[in-house]
Amino acid sequence: MAEAQNIPVGSTTAGAVAVAAESTVATRMSAPPSFDVADFPVPHGREEEWRFTPLERLRGLHDGTAVATGEGVKVAVEAPEGVTVELVDRDDPRLGRAGTPVDRIAAQAYSAFEKAGVVTVPKETVLTEPIRIAVHGEGGLRYGHQVVELGAFAEAVVVIDHTGDAVLAANVDYILGDGAKLTVVSVQDWDDKAVHVAQHNALIGRDASFKSVVVTFGGDVVRLHPRVSYAGTGGEAELFGLYFTDAGQHQEHRLLVDHNVPHCKSNVVYKGALQGEAAHAVWIGDVLIEAQAEGTDTYEMNRNLVLTDGARVDSVPNLEIETGEIVGAGHASATGRFDDEQLFYLMARGIPADEARRLVVRGFFAELVQQIAVPDIEERLLARIETELEATV
């Protein structure tokens, strides 16, 4: 059930549980999923899926005026032995298998990319070192497509690291074979001007486990669409997210877990801290339990911590249940405020103001930081939280 606590001015938290004959998640989109950008009308901003997004700051990604620069965004893949790294043409059968673009920018990216990156971990290969994909912007505009495929019983950690200044629209597909285990850490550590819009599609094989950690710090506009569906029973998805939204930044995470197969699990935990004038975080959490998905076990949660006046959170968990034969389904959303009374309490115990704020924010993020499981990323993240806090107005 939805709960909302301590909602500061300028925040909304809404929740809905729909027992639907027809999916509202599907009907509230402007057009059905498609690989062709022409199937989507140019958004005007009032559509359900665009109403929170500042279209004027998307640099033309949404209306067809954004032209790829050819260079200015570099992608480098570093992979341990045994992993295949390829660049393939758009007719490669592995592309688009994990999911279909659900909005105009994802379809635009699919329609416009030139070569796709494919990283393959062969079956039963267990990697001890992460695969690292570094996307570094040097002022360019890029449409990208990346596939990560794990064969049956393969295990891998993938770190996708976004830095620099870029305008990037992309689709990222994760295909997990039966019994495979994939952890993906996607870090959005962009410079202030960057615009990043992407759809992540995970297709989880029978008894496979997928863990996604999305970490968003930088950028002018970041709009990510992590989506999960299952290819067989016994699949598990854990979707963790952590964002720190500063003055003027728009950071939007729109998740969908489609329980289309019986006896699968999903757990979604996203947490965000906001500070500064016009910092705007949007979290949409859609979970669909289809009629055939008996035995589903799902939970989703979004927590926001507002550190200063002027920040805004929109948090919308949405659970649609088409069968009652499930193990569990729940959702929660709450936005709290680090307020003057908490600050006073900690300071009255001798703790200086900046340390008090750090204590609260570190505590807030602690459980998620532990989920990252890639030590150098964890350290960088903690350091980045420190820097963000020092910049507090």
Partner 1 sequence: MATLEIRDLHVTVEADNATKEILKGVDLTVKQGETHAIMGPNGSGKSTLAYSLAGHPKYTITGGTVTLDGEDVLEMSVDERARAGLFLAMQYPVEVPGVSVSNFLRTSATAIRGEAPKLRLWVKEVKETMERLSMDPSFAERNVNEGFSGGEKKRHEILQLELLKPKIAILDETDSGLDVDALRVVSEGVNRVRETGEVGTLLITHYTRILRYIKPDYVHVFSGGRIVESGGAELADKLENEGYEAYTKGGASA
The site for partner 1 (CB under 8 A) is made up of: 305, 336, 340-342, 344-353, 355, 359-364, 366
Task: Report phi then psi at 110, rounded to 5.
Answer: -70, -35
Residue 71 CB, shortest distance to partner 1, in Å, is: 44
List Cα–Cα distances, 95 to 74, 123, 135, in angstroms: 21, 19, 19
Residue 4 CB, shortest distance to partner 1, in Å, is: 15
Cα 376 to Cα 370: distance, rounded to the nearest angstrom: 12
Residue 359 CB, shortest distance to partner 1, in Å, is: 5
Q: Which is nearer to partner 1, 150 or 356 (CB)?
A: 356
Q: Which is nearer to partner 1, 31 or 334 (CB)?
A: 334
Residue 345 CB, shortest distance to partner 1, in Å, is: 5
Q: Which is nearer to partner 1, 347 or 383 (CB)?
A: 347
Whether the CA torsion 387, 274, 358, 373 is positive or negative: it is negative
Residue 362 CB, shortest distance to partner 1, in Å, is: 8
Residue 363 CB, shortest distance to partner 1, in Å, is: 3
Q: Which is nearer to partner 1, 5 or 84 (CB)?
A: 5
Q: Which is nearer to partner 1, 66 or 346 (CB)?
A: 346
Cα 388 to Cα 276: distance, rounded to the nearest angstrom: 11
- Here the tokens at position 378 are 């964890």
Residue 336 CB, shortest distance to partner 1, in Å, is: 6
Cα 191 to Cα 322: distance, rounded to the nearest angstrom: 43
For strand 236-245 and strand 209-216, is the pairing parallel, antiparallel, or unpaired?
Answer: parallel
CA atoms within 13 A on the CB side of 28: 11
Residue 250 CB, shortest distance to partner 1, in Å, is: 25
- The distance from CA 85 to its chain's CA centroid, rounded to whole angstroms, is 24
Q: Which is nearer to partner 1, 78 or 355 (CB)?
A: 355
Quickly count: other Cβ atoms within 10 Å of residue 283's Cβ.
28
Q: Which is nearer to partner 1, 157 or 281 (CB)?
A: 281
- Here the tokens at position 224 are 């990510």
Query: At residue 116, what is the residue type?
Result: A
Q: What is the gyration radius of the CA atoms in the chain, in angstroms?
A: 20
H or E segment to which residue 306 belongs: strand 297-306
Q: Which is nearer to partner 1, 181 or 357 (CB)?
A: 357
Tell me which residue has tokens 């410079």: 191
DSSP 126: B
